[in-house]
Structure 1
């Protein structure tokens, strides 16, 4: 999950982000807008993404999600609040009916980017990430090269502070690679847009 200044961006932890936003009983409701609305044709089991109707979208799913479906002429999102049916059951029913999630599952970064560029929704999310500023918190991301199409946007945006989660031994091979990659991204920024890098223990985030 990635939380960026006034935007919340769902990456590999998109379901975790979605769950966290719904947990009203844990405290004050977090204000957010993922751009999905009741369809123009009237209420139904899902909501649709209609960006021309709003300019306040603050939540983006960079690689789509299992609860977001490409219905050809529209992008649909399934939600528990509309039906009272658990999300996983709605997803299974939709797939059994021949619908498939808008979800980037391709392997390499260039393949993922090609998929992103063929979707209005994913392209809009990718562009939004390139325009963020302030502090960027990255939770549960490996900083692997197959996500270079996302990480490379850190060269372009105005993030000033990058905070990255580390799980387990900070000096393990995987965590050493994450730390080096994050620090390299910072050193590649132009002097006019410096970016500091900090790391934190992923297990210290006790919201879930």
Structure 2
């Protein structure tokens, strides 16, 4: 099997109308391997959970922090109505709910850079050069990410216009100023009607997006200058939860997505990108993702759609165990393409040759 360089893959994709990008966890690992190789945010938080709290996650069959916190709060409020002598259990449930918020904050803080300046200017420059192949001037592509960390957001916001190496990225994540509170420290997602130009999509949410009930708010470093952990702490105290899809099987992820207008919109966008046809066809680049069945709710659109060409990053020896698994996953996607649709071409490129973070 021939492995292309990233530039060779870009050159080969020039014949298509547009090229789009799907990012997996390898995008973040390439920047901070010592941080982003943790198993999961839940695994980190679980290290400090009580046996009872872990049992609650298991009983509810979820990895969704918000669902468990709200379940504990609700149970705490009503349990004494059935048995007034369970006041101690009621207080314990409420305490566990508060502790779980703290566990979530500490897990985020322990597995994520606190501030944008922990990434160097050269790293941002390289990342923006990589992204410019998809959303640079005149490109017209879209970027979809399965990561809920802030690295993509920080790279997009790192605009040094006075720099001689400045790269213009045409990016829009669909968030705008709250028209009722123009001086607010956040911006809000104003729904599908205001997102026609959106080309940055967090398919599984992100740690800077908070569900405030009446609106989805994006906390910004530019407006606050405060560290992620501090913003998360303040938001959680107000019962605003970070919107992200925790680990689990694809059915659990799909259920969470269907209950969020923002996540559902992003998924529909990806589905549309995959299924709509263009005169010269479309290419989809996938970087840092194993194409595992856990993300079938997203990957199924590639097989069933009209993407003409996949360019997939491969890290290390193509014959190692993990890469063989990934290639097998890709072959399943190819085989799922209906015969009536265009043949799905696939090429692999060397992940290191993309120099995503320098």
Q: Which position in structure 2 is the counterpart of 1:45?
A: 185
Q: Counterparts of 2:170 and 2:259 in 1: how far apart (Å)?
A: 30
Q: Which position in structure 1 is the counterpart of 2:350?
A: 201
Deviation at 1:160, TM superposition (A): 1.2
Higher strand share: 1
Higher helix share: 2
Q: Which moved more, 1:188-197 or 1:172-181?
A: 188-197
The alignment partner of 1:136 has SS state of: strand
Deviation at 1:132, TM superposition (A): 0.8
Give me the TM-score of the superposition, normalised by structure 1. 0.90
Which among 330, 333, 345 is matched to residue 182 of structure 1?
330
Deviation at 1:14, TM superposition (A): 5.1
Q: Counterparts of 2:319 and 2:154 in 1: how far apart (Å)?
A: 31
Alignment of 1:1-208 (within 5 A): 2=22, 6-12=141-147, 15-25=150-160, 27-43=166-182, 44-51=184-191, 52-133=193-274, 134-191=282-339, 192-208=341-357
Deviation at 1:108, TM superposition (A): 0.8
The alignment partner of 2:170 has SS state of: coil
Map Cα deviations across residues 46-77 of structure 1 (whole Å, 9 max, x no partner): 11000323421111110001111111111111
Q: Please, what is the CA RMSD of the aligned residues?
A: 2.1
Q: Which has the higher contact order (CA 8 A, sep 6+)?
A: 2
Map Cα deviations across residues 75-114 of structure 1 (whole Å, 9 max, x no partner): 1111111122234432343234432211100411111101
Give me the TM-score of the superposition, normalised by structure 2. 0.54
Instruction: Report the CA distance shift for 1:15/1:137 in structure 2 as closer, same or farther (over 3 A).
Output: farther
Please say which structure displays the higher CA radius of gyration. Answer: 2
Contact in 2 for aligned 1:155/1:189 (Cα 8 Å)? yes
Q: Counterparts of 1:158 and 1:13 in 2: how far apart (Å)?
A: 27
Q: Counterparts of 2:149 and 2:335 in 1: how far apart (Å)?
A: 28
Contact in 1 for aligned 2:174/2:189 (Cα 8 Å)? yes
Q: Counterparts of 1:186 and 1:147 in 2: how far apart (Å)?
A: 16
The number of residue pairs the alignment matches comes to 208
Q: Counterparts of 2:208 and 2:311 in 1: how far apart (Å)?
A: 28
Instruction: Report the CA distance shift for 1:89/1:199 in structure 2 as closer, same or farther (over 3 A).
Output: farther
Deviation at 1:184, TM superposition (A): 2.4
Q: Counterparts of 1:197 and 1:120 in 2: how far apart (Å)?
A: 32
Q: Counterparts of 1:201 and 1:65 in 2: how far apart (Å)?
A: 27
- In structure 1, the gaps of 5 or more residues are none
Structure 1 stretches of 4+ with a deviation exceeding 4 A read none
